[in-house]
Structure 1
């Protein structure tokens, strides 16, 4: 999710110990855990409310499905699959190497 490796995590922990001190670090970690649980609860409530408002046909809706990157990726892959299935129309051919596409002065 955050794409943090072991090295980055170690540096973050070292900075946290230096800034907060070893005596306040457990208290801060507990606060961070409560915050994450609260945010997860808010996300769950929002997902359930969306499902209820959209109706039974969206009962399998997940919040990650609403990510714009996933939506674009899904539509592009669907369009590519349809394009592969479409037959080539009569009279159309690929351009030869160096051949310019036709130009219509009336269309511009």
Structure 2
């Protein structure tokens, strides 16, 4: 979790205990417990709401596939490049870009075309 190991969390907890002091430590521990409980209730409520709104399709979703930690751009590109599916024959390759076409220059003294509705 964010590169924090158990040892680092333990050191932070010991430093926090010294900074807070023994008088206020139970108060802050209670606030931390209340915060964790609130976050857990919020997450459970969101999950229940998703189940209610999605209906029976909720169980069919592969949640591991949607995990952002599974996103690896190198793997995605490798799979796309190694895809052996033939290209559809209905799509014709582009031989000349529309931007590459030569357009005749405007005669001297004439105004370029202007579309009043586009501005």
Gaps of 5+ in 1: 90-103
Richer in helix (by share)? 1
* TM-score, length-scaled by structure 2: 0.53
Q: 1:70 to 1:6 in 2, by over 3 A?
A: closer
2:32 alignment partner in structure 1: 32
Q: Which one has more relative contact order, counting CA pairs under 8 Å at least 6 apart?
A: 1
Distance 2:59 2:13 in 1: 40
What is the root-mean-square deviation in Å for CA atoms of aligned residues?
3.7
1:86 alignment partner in structure 2: 84
Distance 1:75 1:51 in 2: 31
How many aligned residue pairs are there?
91
Aligned-residue offset at 1:33? 1.2
* TM-score, length-scaled by structure 1: 0.57
1:12 alignment partner in structure 2: 12
* Rg comparison, structure with higher value: 2
> Would you say the 8 A contact 1:47–1:63 is kept in 2?
no
Aligned-residue offset at 1:43? 0.6
The 5 A counterparts of 1:68-107 are 69-70=68-69, 73=71, 84=82, 86-87=84-85, 106-107=96-97
Gaps of 5+ in 2: 88-94, 101-119
Runs of 4+ with deviation above 4 angstroms: 60-67, 74-85
